[in-house]
Amino acid sequence: MRKQSIGTPTLFSISLLLLIFFSCAPIFAQKKSDPVFSNFVYQGNDAVYNEHPLKADEFYSPILQGCYPDPSIVRKNNDYYLVCSSFAMFPGVPIFKSNDLVNWKQIGHVLDRPSQLKVENSGISAGVYAPAIAYNKQNDMFYMITTQIAGGMGNIVVKTTDPEKGWSEPYKLNFGGIDPSLFFDDNGKAYVVHNDAPDAGKELYNGHRVIKIWEYDVQKDQVIAGSDKIIVNGGVDISKKPIWIEAPHIYKRNGLYYLMCAEGGTGDNHSEVIFVSEDVKGPYIPANNNPILSQRHLPAQRKNKVDWAGHADLVEGPDGKHYGVFLGIRPNEENRVNIGRETFILPVDWSGKFPVFENGLIPLEVKLKTPAGVENRTGKDGFLPNGNFTFNDHFKNAKLDDRWVALRGPREAFARPTKNGLEIKAFGTNIKDAKPVSALLHRQQHNAFSAKVTLKFNPLTSKDFAGITCLQSESFNYIFGITKKENKTYLLLVRTEKGISKVLDSKEITAGSPITLQVAADGDNYQFSYAQNGTSYQTMGGIVSGDILSTNVAGGFTGALIGLYATADNDIQPAEY
């Protein structure tokens, strides 16, 4: 390639460069009112893990704790890659890598650029639904296909030859519905299957859905117009009015095509079902022993309850056995779902015609046996921790840990690690806005946990606020932090329910001095406390309910998030405290 010569800079070009520099540089030029967070510590203390210590050949399920739902998994050689839904979180679609299905590292996110992820005006439970990852050995390419309920995106696909080196810009796909997945046949042909509504006028009952298949043009990255066909109508037995047949995946084994789907909706009636066909386009015949995975028929009061099991994907393990990843929930003592839907795993028996999740129809166990020859190294050597663990972040690294996410926009737009801690530039939006907010968020991963952080902040006006948040959505959350009233600085605890905020407690504090803020939960009981000397904590507001942090009360599809939050649009008026 011929290089262009660079001439002497003109006065105009120098002026332009100076203008760009001085307009961009102040983005993170710290003001006195910018909060700095340091020494974040999250610690889990669930009784179930204390009561079930691991032996050398065991590991815990869920393998991904916290809001990591709708898992999809693929294998290339000895590498496994797993993705999950992320809704309006940014970056989107967390991706994990393993060599053994036990020890996992997060290698980043699939959708990590605004050009790929347009969720800036989305409610927290909109955005990215049910990503599915696939590998096409014909062109040595990985694909991630998903439905993006935001920004006019719809169903999209991105691709890469190396999941650790970033993904393409999205290709918008010409079909409706949700939950698409790709299947690459060994003859080079490709297909998309997905959930959709029945044809116009043919919906028989509320929740009646179908599974469609399309031929897929790998060269154009587009479905082939007119190739669509309904391959499942309603579910396993439409006479029983099954609801929400969805999350389809096709597998080929011994010359037969297997279609596995979730059925019953992602709640108390969730399950996984399987069909078989001699042709990829059907007809698909359901197995006579469906469902092959469910917890819906079990006693409600069982110990160490796991529920809502379904939305699964299958892969061959390192020991030659098959395994299935799927979502499930671990409710608290009030049967509320604060942690959200997590990623579990079970071995799968495929010795017969149909695959069956081993012990998938009885109460799920806390521990599983590792595949033969696999050592449990979770929490070591860079692998994600599991069970009860502590996560410390001193914000000393230039790059934020992948476990931190923002809402509706890039983290880097407001959060910057510095030598003193994490500096957050407050946006003119607050936590109740369905817009990008300046909050760096970590998933709640246990029913019993504590999270604390030290904050240095000197608010200048009543519009300035900084502290921590426990967030289920923009309409249901707690905020606990510092603001200004006239010439005094206050610490506030605020509960927001259905978008209406109420101050639960307030206390005048010394302006500008470091303060440690802590939230601790034991099931449904949450406590917010502070320490100005780093050791002696005082509780604000007493014990408060975590009800608004549950999907039972708040609705939606996410789990609770714990955030480091700042705003220049505090809307709690001085008269309210």
CA 346 to chain centre: 20
Q: What is the pLDDT of residue 6?
A: 31
Q: Which residue in 34, 46, 70, 100 is the catalytic one?
A: 70
Specify whether 486 is catalytic.
Answer: no
Tens digits of residue pLDDT in 140-164: 999 999 999 999 999 999 999 999 9
Q: Is it the case that residue 8 has pLDDT exceeding 80?
A: no
Q: What is the pLDDT of residues 471-530, one digit of tens each?
A: 999 999 999 999 999 889 999 999 999 999 999 999 999 888 899 999 999 999 999 999
> Dihedrals φ, ψ of 122, to 5°?
-95, 140
Measure Cα distances from 376 to 340, 345, 373, 380, 449 in Å. Answer: 25, 15, 10, 9, 23
Catalytic residue among 46, 100, 196, 246: 246
Mean pLDDT over 322-335 rounds to 98
Quote the mean pLDDT of the chain: 93
With H, G, I as helix, E, B as strand and everything else as coil, classify residue 549: helix
- Quick one: which H or E segment has residue 58? strand 58-60
pLDDT at 27 over 90: no
Residue 392 C-beta-side C-alpha neighbours within 13 Å = 3
Cβ(103)–Cβ(130) below 8 Å: no
Whether a cis peptide bond, with omega within 30° of 0, leads into 385 is: no
What's the pLDDT score for residue 334? Answer: 96
pLDDT at position 200 over 60:
yes
Q: How does residue 199 score in pLDDT terms, banded at 50, 70 and 90?
A: very high
pLDDT, tens digit (0-9, with 9 covering 90-100), for 536-561: 999 999 999 999 999 999 999 999 99
Whether 16 has a pLDDT exceeding 50, the answer reads no
Average pLDDT over residues 411-417: 97
Q: How confident is the model at residue 183 (pLDDT cuts 50, 70, 90)?
A: very high
Given this model, what pLDDT does residue 512 score?
83
pLDDT of residue 576: 59
Is the predicted pLDDT of residue 575 greater than 70, yes or no?
no
pLDDT score, position 260: 98
**What are the C-alpha distances in Å from 65 to residues 35, 344, 405, 551?**
29, 9, 15, 16
Check whether 22 has a pLDDT greater than 80. Answer: no
Question: Given a cut of 80, is residue 341 above it in pLDDT?
Answer: yes
Percentage with pLDDT > 90 across the chain: 91
pTM confidence score: 0.93
**Omega of the bond prior to 69 within 30 degrees of 0, cis?**
no
pLDDT digits (tens, 9 = 90+) for 103-143: 999 999 999 999 999 999 999 999 999 999 999 999 999 99
Q: What is the pLDDT of residue 31?
A: 55
Q: What is the mean pLDDT of residues 391-395?
A: 97
pLDDT at 13: 38
pLDDT of residue 574 exceeding 80, the answer is no
Amino acid at 116: Q
Q: Buried b / exposed e across 43-81, counting CB within 10 Å, b at 16+? A: bbbbebbeebebeeebbbbbbbbbbbbbbbbbeeeeebb
- Quote the tokens at residue 189: 């042909």
**What is the rounded end-to-end Cα distance, in angstroms, of the chain?**
67
Report the distance separating Cα 67 and Cα 343, nearest Å.
Answer: 8
**DSSP one-letter code for 362:** S
Burial 367-391 (b: 16+ CB within 10 A, else e): bbebbeebebebeeeebbebbbbeb
Report the 3 state secondary structure along 371-417.
Answer: CCCCCCCCCCCCCCCCCCCEEEECCCCCCCCCCCEEECCCHHHCEEE
For residue 23, pLDDT beyond 80: no
Rounded to an integer, the average pLDDT of 178-207 is 97
Mean pLDDT value of segment 55-84:
98
Q: What is the pLDDT of residue 535?
A: 76
Asked if residue 326 lies in contact with residue 272, where contact means CB atoms within 8 angstroms, the answer is: yes
Which amino acid, residue 313?
Answer: D
Phi, psi values for residue 547, rounded to 5°: -55, -40
> Over 50: is that where the pLDDT of 17 sits?
no
Predicted pLDDT of residue 2: 31
70 is catalytic: yes
Alpha carbon 331 to its chain centroid, in Å, reads 17
What separation in angstroms does the CA of 368 have from each of 62, 324, 331, 376? 10, 13, 20, 11
pLDDT for residue 573: 65
Per-residue pLDDT at 20 exceeds 90: no
